[in-house]
């Protein structure tokens, strides 16, 4: 079945450093979504990418969807302590609504 792999599992950075998490699917995706889960909280939707090669930005966050629609990345520029949390990618294979989540990347930021 469809698998979504995400790396790294953990990332510890100094405040102000950049951060990137990568997501790879075993199958071609119709779209990919990114969620953030703060410690003790539940996942919250950040963004979705639908088109091949799509790039979207939200302030310091840049999201990319690969040309083959099988991989994606989230890059945070100049991390802040408010960026702490676990970032999940989630892929949808056939627009049926079923999402398969990656294992998440836990980001910690040292002030």
Partner 1 sequence: GAGVSQSPSNKVTEKGKDVELRCDPISGHTALYWYRQRLGQGLEFLIYFQGNSAPDKSGLPSDRFSAERTGESVSTLTIQRTQQEDSAVYLCASSQWTGYFYEQYFGPGTRLTVT
Binding site for partner 1 (CB under 8 A): 1, 6, 30-31, 33, 35, 41-45, 48, 50, 88, 90, 92, 95-104, 106
CB of 61 vs partner 1, minimal distance in Å? 17
CB of 39 vs partner 1, minimal distance in Å? 11
Nearer to partner 1, 98 or 110 (CB): 98
CB of 23 vs partner 1, minimal distance in Å? 12
Nearer to partner 1, 51 or 78 (CB): 51
Nearer to partner 1, 39 or 111 (CB): 39
d(CA 57, CA 64): 9
Residue spans of beta strands (DSSP E) within the chain: 4-7, 10-14, 19-25, 31-37, 44-49, 55-58, 61-65, 71-76, 85-92, 99-101, 105-110
Burial (0-12, 13-18, 19+ Cβ within 10 Å), 49: buried
Nearer to partner 1, 77 or 103 (CB): 103
CB of 42 vs partner 1, minimal distance in Å? 4
Is the Cα torsion angle 103, 15, 53, 47 positive or negative in sign?
A: positive
């Amino acid at each position: 079945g469809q698998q979504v792999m995400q790396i790294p599992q953990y990332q510890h950075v100094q405040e102000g450093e950049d951060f990137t998490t990568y997501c790879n699917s075993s199958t071609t995706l119709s779209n990919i979504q990114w969620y953030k889960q703060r410690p003790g909280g539940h996942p919250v939707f950040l963004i979705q990418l639908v088109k091949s090669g799509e790039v979207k930005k939200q302030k310091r966050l840049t999201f990319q969807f690969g040309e083959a629609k099988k991989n994606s990345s989230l890059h945070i520029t100049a991390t802040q302590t408010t960026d702490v949390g676990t970032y999940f990618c989630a892929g949808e294979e056939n627009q049926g609504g079923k999402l398969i989540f990656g294992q998440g990347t836990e980001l910690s930021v040292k002030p």
